[in-house]
Structure 1
């Protein structure tokens, strides 16, 4: 790790301490400089502006989840197990982080809402990884009649409860890896788009 990287990590530790003290209140560069005992001019060596600071905060928060997704994608697991692990590993991390410090976790979620355009980049990355998984599943004969984009949209709707941090916290006593496994099995056993007559019949019945 270079001196610059070490300095950035130390500053991000100060950011986390400020978040723990103040909650999900946006932090200015001047406030961070004061907490770190350095001049604002020196701080700009590490973060050129506030957006760069919050990009680094988000990157640190999401980094373990991104590594987990990359490791699952690179694994030799059968596609159904790979699909489960893609969600289960992140679910475990979210639950562990929340259990470690619920107040700090909620504060990070509040900051994420304030900087949703930065968070969106990581959501899009997860969708990209999911599309790769779904392409692999389709190549093995799963999800007949569905294009990759349609399957991504449907799977997101069905599994959002297990990967969206806000929903996981809201349903912390209901979500579990066992329930995730059941939902993943159900998706692989039944998700398909080659029966339009069934869809039309259901939509007509609901009118």
Structure 2
């Protein structure tokens, strides 16, 4: 197998655009590398030079969306807002990005859910990047005395556990028919508890 050319070439962008459209129209089962290749004006063998399998191509489509989510989260962490606001916006951004994708692009979201369930690379990398960004928020909160956790690892675990219903993609898919206003209200309540706990040093 030849090594994949460097990402973000014009061909990469074109293939991902076509594959994204096919995934939305046909779903992961009916999407074919041959169909993507035909629309791109190349042979399916040429597509395999960029993506060694159909699964790699589909994961690349989902990975493109996940990187957009990560970029938005990084902007929040790097912003000038008070750290408590950052934490709230960070969690809300994940919850809303996932819910919007589950509603508007269910095929892509289903690929992400299956990647989480199978612990595939795109899911592991995305979670790792999220955790590193969350850790930066907690470190900033400690440095500015906005948060006073008794144990940093327990504080991280507490935040994750508290908001799991709203940011776990499997749960997001289960709750997709629950009105967004109801979920936002519930999440707001949980975030209030989280911020109080971190400030008061309950964890």
TM-score normalized with structure 2 length: 0.76
RMSD of equivalent CA atoms = 3.0
Contact 2:147 2:201 in 1 (8 A): no
Do the aligned residues in 2 keep the contact of 1:79 with 1:136 (CA within 8 Å)?
Answer: yes
Partner Cα distance (1:26, 1:160) in 2: 32
- Residue in 2 that maps onto 1:20: 24
Q: Which has the higher contact order (CA 8 A, sep 6+)?
A: 1
Between Structure 1 and Structure 2, how many residues are aligned? Answer: 190
Instruction: Give the distance between the partners of 2:76 and 2:201, measured in 1 at CA.
Output: 29
Q: CA deviation at 1:141?
A: 4.7
Aligned residues of 1:144 and 1:193 also touching (Cα < 8 A):
yes
- The unaligned stretches of length 5 or more in structure 1 are 197-207
Does the CA-based 8 Å contact 2:24-2:105 persist in structure 1? no
Cα 1:40–1:114 shift into 2, 3 Å: farther
Matches within 5 A, 1:118-133: 118-133=122-137
| TM-superposed deviation, 1:25 | 3.0
User: Is contact 1:84-1:184 (8 Å) kept?
Assistant: yes
Aligned to 1:107: 110
Counterpart position of 1:49: 52
The answer to whether the Cα contact below 8 Å between 1:29 and 1:49 also exists between their aligned partners in 2 is no
Q: CA deviation at 1:122?
A: 0.8
The normalised TM-score by structure 1 is 0.75
- 8 A contact 1:68–1:90 mirrored in 2: no
Shift of 1:60: 0.8
> Equivalences for 1:39-188 in 2 at 5 Å?
39-44=43-48, 47=50, 49-50=52-53, 53-54=57-58, 56-102=60-106, 104-109=107-112, 111-112=114-115, 113=117, 116-139=120-143, 140-147=145-152, 149-172=153-176, 173=178, 176-188=183-195
